[in-house]
Structure 1
Amino acid sequence: MKEQDYHADREELKELLRQYENLRAGKVHAFLEEEAFERIIDHFDEIDDFPKALEVAETGLEYFPFSSQLLIKNADLLIVTRKYQEALELLDRALLFDSSDINIPILKTDAYLALDQQEKAVEILEEALHRFEGEDRQELLFELADVYDDYEEFDKVFDCLKLILEEDLTNEEALYKICFWTDFTGRNEESIRLHQHIIDEHPYCELAWFNLGAAYQGLKLYEKAVDAYQYAIAIDEKFDYAYRNMGDAYIRLRQYKEAIEVLEKVVELTRPEEVIYEAIGHCFHRLHNYAQARFHYRKASHMNPDDSKLYYKISLTYIDEGQWEQAVKQLENAMRIHRNVPEYNLAMGECKMNLDHYKEAIQYFSLVVKQRPRNVNGWEALIKCLYQKELFEEACTQCLAALQATEGKPVFLFYYTAALSGAGKWKEAMLQLERAMERAPKLLKKFVELNPAVLQNNQVVDIIARHKKSKKN
């Protein structure tokens, strides 16, 4: 039946095209109705023959000069062919004949935006909002939201979507869009109030529950977010984005077993994604299940072999197990892709140091210090490495450089004390320990970690005791 209708429509269109060509050629022809011109215009529009479509529209207006539909179609084609002022003139004429056609303000908006007259486009839409109701008004609000988006007035985009939902509580397009714009504008409290109202009226609207969860998540209220997502999946058990966001919320709550469970549900429901496998790997890593962490990190890396971060994460699981050589192999993979990432060099330096390859370790730590001179971690690693290798003079030099680069971080006074004592400069070391204890006594453990035997030295014990006593007083 459908095939017969299709062939009938095709034959009818062929006949209309023949009659139109006869009309243009001045031959004997049947009278073409207004609707016939509209159909011929649509035909040429569909096949992207805009000059021909425009010709038909102009011809149609010669016969039906008061047709708002032909004026609108003509204006639409003029906009496509960048004749914006001509289009606006035709739309003004169309408005005189039919002020109830929503295409008029929408096309006017397109023309003014093309002329870079955003204020005028907004004015047209806002004026039209007073004349339309229901679905037409909502369509105009979506148009207005797009205008504000183009001109980066993002709070007003949120306002438009909120208005739509206040009029149509379960408008699916608005519910999808407002979730993004809530996160983008940070208007989470408003979103919570809006979606709680929607849920009061429509308790089985899974998108409203999802958006409520996302707004709670934006405020770092992760337990409330989880509750909202659970309602969403109770309504729609295949709502993969709810599982995905719930997984993130559980990770923030450090509930890694629960996170793994819901993230595995995401894998079950959708096409595998690198980011999901990486998140599952992260959870297993936090649970100290290093084999499973590696398994999932590797799955992610197979999907994106150019992501150096994944090889780095695999290396960290080996580092946590003390498997230094395996960690080095993974870091080499990471550094083949991105050579100068400070975290990679820092991890490689740690591996080399634990493998007693001190010269290489010092080189890696030195690179980190060069890349991030104000970062404490790189300096700490370098100084500890020099101290362990008993390069005390060089450690002293690097402590002074670290103090200067980090604007006098007191931790380096303790390291300087250790390096001076290692170099046999005991008197100066005790002076530095006094300074360090005055500045940050809680960091004493950093000094003791380097050489626990110092607690057997009477001078060191006296300085520590004196500062503890003065603190009590």
Structure 2
Amino acid sequence: MQFSSNDDYNLPLTKFESMLKTNNVFFFDSTDFEQITTHYLDEGKISKAKKAIQLGLEQHPSSSELKLLQIEIFVFENKLDLAEKLLNQVQELQPGNEEVYIQRANILSKKDKHTEAIHMLKKALELDEEMSGDIYSMIGMEYLFLDNYADAKEFFIKSLTVDYLDYASLYNLVYCFEFLEDYDGCISYLNDYLEINPYCEVAWHQLGKQYFSKKLYKEAVSAFEFAIISDDTFIGAYLEKGKVLEKLKRYNEAIENYEYTLQLDDPTSFAYLRIGKCHERLGNSELAKQFFYKTVHEDPLLDKGWIAITDFYYKEGNFRKAQYYINKALNIDEENVLYWKRSAEINKQLGFFEEADIAYQKTVELGNYELETWISWADILTHLGEYDTAVITLLQGLEFYPDHSKLEYRLAALYYLSNDDIKGQYHLVNALKHNYDAYEDASRLFPAIYDRPSVKNFITNFKKAS
């Protein structure tokens, strides 16, 4: 039993605390030492728990329960050899104690022997007359370590059948359903669970997230509202409800939910960012900007905040400021391909073609192989007069988009510019085959090439032949 300020069990704890301060040694029965140790372990006060165990075993050297608590501490501190040695002693005295098998399972789990740990826990279950939900939950965790989500799910369900208030098992169960992509099964389970525990804000919150993942937005809103009814200080439910309301384009209501979280606790950058996005969609540009700046003030390392400001100024046509803020985002996350793509587009708008070239190169290095990336990068290189590099870029693009006319027309023009008419004609034929009408767009990009009499005649003859 845990100690509290309202029961007689607090007296041994007070007495023990007094003993520690005065260095006097008082006598406690073994049950008191068990409860004192468990209290400190639950509080995370390991040094005091170890002191209680030490004194407890000095006064009660034959207590198996105190030895089991000592083993628990050894396992926590990764002193597995000491734990096993002491556990063997306890098992000789109490071979039918399920806690022996639980601690042996903990040791095996620490050694990454999860299948053997499960075997031990199932033995503990055979000895546990109360059918402990904790053991079911522990077996579920071992199956998670083995990436066996189906069996893990079943044991978390069993744990919740024994103790429906075990919210750790509830979270783990939802995780299993999600990993198995069984969203309908998760929704069905949570609805059944809520029949038993109708004011569980955790279950309502998780149910709302499942509905959201299936784009059942109205159902999601209702679930989050029930979570808030169950706990009107549940910040996560307000935030999730706000996200759903955004999807429903109910931006003013979304803002109300986000703003409510600011009253419940310290402001969060996420809430500020979402409020800014809602104002932006409502056309409240000035308010949107204010909240984007509040976002980065609250969390200067939130790259999404800097991107929001970048996009704001990009839409406004203020490319100088957009460039300043995209660099802020890149300083935080220089491996984000979308940020480099934005940087390239902004520098292109500013006429900073060398910077745009570097940004496109980084975009491709990070795995962005979209058609427009190859085309835009090649156009930048062409503008810089780097025809050979532009050709290489377009040829790389063709590996991903074989015979695409936009790439072929550009390649043809570049080869003609380099006086390689044979390759120019080859790629021009490919372009004309796949999209003859796109010739007009290409002629606007490369008028010096596509207005040549020889090239125009070739295109006319191709049309006649086809």
So what's the TM-score if we normalise by structure 1? Answer: 0.71
| Counterpart in the other structure of 1:325 | 320
1:106 to 98, 102, 105: 102
2:64 to 66, 71, 74: 71
2:118 to 107, 113, 122: 122
**RMSD (CA atoms):** 4.9
Indicate the SS of the match to 1:164.
Answer: helix
Contact in 2 for aligned 1:79/1:87 (Cα 8 Å) = no
Show the 5 A alignment for 1:206-221.
Answer: 206-221=201-216
Contact in 1 for aligned 2:408/2:428 (Cα 8 Å) = yes
Deviation at 1:341, TM superposition (A): 5.3
| Counterpart in the other structure of 1:348 | 343
Instruction: Call closer, same or farther: CA 1:160–1:416 in 2, change over 3 Å.
Output: same
1:10 to 12, 15, 33: 15
- Cα distance in 2 for partners of 1:334, 1:8 equals 53
1:189 to 167, 184, 189: 184
Show the 5 A alignment for 1:203-282.
Answer: 203-251=198-246, 259-282=254-277
Letter in 1 for 2:305: L
Instruction: Call closer, same or farther: CA 1:465–1:131 in 2, change over 3 Å.
Output: farther
Contact in 1 for aligned 2:136/2:156 (Cα 8 Å) = yes
Contact in 1 for aligned 2:245/2:251 (Cα 8 Å) = yes
Letter in 2 for 1:240: I
Contact in 1 for aligned 2:409/2:442 (Cα 8 Å) = yes
- Cα distance in 2 for partners of 1:278, 1:368 equals 26
- Cα distance in 1 for partners of 2:304, 2:342 equals 12
Deviation at 1:412, TM superposition (A): 1.1
Deviation at 1:194, TM superposition (A): 1.0
- Cα distance in 1 for partners of 2:95, 2:271 equals 53
Q: Is 1:138 equivalent to 2:133 in the alignment?
A: yes
| Counterpart in the other structure of 1:32 | none
For 1:219-241, what per-residue CA distance to the aligned partner results, in whole angstroms no more than 9, with x for missing partners? Answer: 45444433432333344443322
Contact in 2 for aligned 1:182/1:215 (Cα 8 Å) = no
- Cα distance in 1 for partners of 2:301, 2:398 equals 38
For 1:17-38, what per-residue CA distance to the aligned partner results, in whole angstroms no more than 9, with x for missing partners? Answer: 7686xxxxxxxxxxxxxx7244
Instruction: Call closer, same or farther: CA 1:169–1:401 in 2, change over 3 Å.
Output: same
Instruction: Call closer, same or farther: CA 1:449–1:39 in 2, change over 3 Å.
Output: farther
Q: Which moved more, 1:73-82 or 1:312-321?
A: 73-82
Deviation at 1:199, TM superposition (A): 3.1
- Cα distance in 1 for partners of 2:73, 2:66 equals 11
Deviation at 1:49, TM superposition (A): 7.7
Instruction: Call closer, same or farther: CA 1:181–1:368 in 2, change over 3 Å.
Output: closer
Structure 1 segments unaligned to the other structure (5+ residues): 21-34
For 1:127-154, what per-residue CA distance to the aligned partner results, in whole angstroms no more than 9, with x for missing partners? Answer: 33345466x6212222323433455544
- Cα distance in 1 for partners of 2:37, 2:202 equals 40
Instruction: Call closer, same or farther: CA 1:144–1:376 in 2, change over 3 Å.
Output: same
Instruction: Call closer, same or farther: CA 1:110–1:322 in 2, change over 3 Å.
Output: same
- Cα distance in 1 for partners of 2:229, 2:464 equals 63
Instruction: Call closer, same or farther: CA 1:441–1:302 in 2, change over 3 Å.
Output: farther
| Counterpart in the other structure of 1:397 | 391
Identity of aligned residues (%): 18
Q: Which moved more, 1:255-264 or 1:2-11?
A: 2-11
Instruction: Call closer, same or farther: CA 1:346–1:133 in 2, change over 3 Å.
Output: same
Letter in 1 for 2:88: L
Letter in 2 for 1:109: A
Letter in 1 for 2:377: L
| Counterpart in the other structure of 1:166 | 161
Indicate the SS of the match to 1:271.
Answer: coil
Letter in 1 for 2:391: T
| Counterpart in the other structure of 1:24 | none
- Cα distance in 2 for partners of 1:313, 1:170 equals 41
Letter in 2 for 1:213: G
Letter in 2 for 1:88: N
Instruction: Call closer, same or farther: CA 1:348–1:152 in 2, change over 3 Å.
Output: closer
Deviation at 1:314, TM superposition (A): 1.7
Deviation at 1:303, TM superposition (A): 2.8
Instruction: Call closer, same or farther: CA 1:260–1:459 in 2, change over 3 Å.
Output: farther
- Cα distance in 2 for partners of 1:323, 1:391 equals 28
Contact in 2 for aligned 1:88/1:108 (Cα 8 Å) = no
- Cα distance in 2 for partners of 1:10, 1:386 equals 80
Contact in 2 for aligned 1:396/1:420 (Cα 8 Å) = no
1:408 to 387, 402, 409: 402
Deviation at 1:371, TM superposition (A): 5.6
For 1:329-361, what per-residue CA distance to the aligned partner results, in whole angstroms no more than 9, with x for missing partners? Answer: 223433455567554444334333333444554
Indicate the SS of the match to 1:327.
Answer: helix
Instruction: Call closer, same or farther: CA 1:401–1:59 in 2, change over 3 Å.
Output: same
Letter in 2 for 1:408: P
Contact in 1 for aligned 2:398/2:407 (Cα 8 Å) = no
| Counterpart in the other structure of 1:57 | 57
Contact in 2 for aligned 1:238/1:269 (Cα 8 Å) = yes
Instruction: Call closer, same or farther: CA 1:367–1:418 in 2, change over 3 Å.
Output: same
| Counterpart in the other structure of 1:93 | 93
- Cα distance in 2 for partners of 1:395, 1:143 equals 59
Contact in 2 for aligned 1:209/1:229 (Cα 8 Å) = yes
Letter in 1 for 2:123: E
Instruction: Call closer, same or farther: CA 1:43–1:246 in 2, change over 3 Å.
Output: closer
So what's the TM-score if we normalise by structure 2? Answer: 0.71
Contact in 2 for aligned 1:112/1:118 (Cα 8 Å) = yes
Indicate the SS of the match to 2:60.
Answer: helix
Letter in 1 for 2:188: R
| Counterpart in the other structure of 2:79 | none
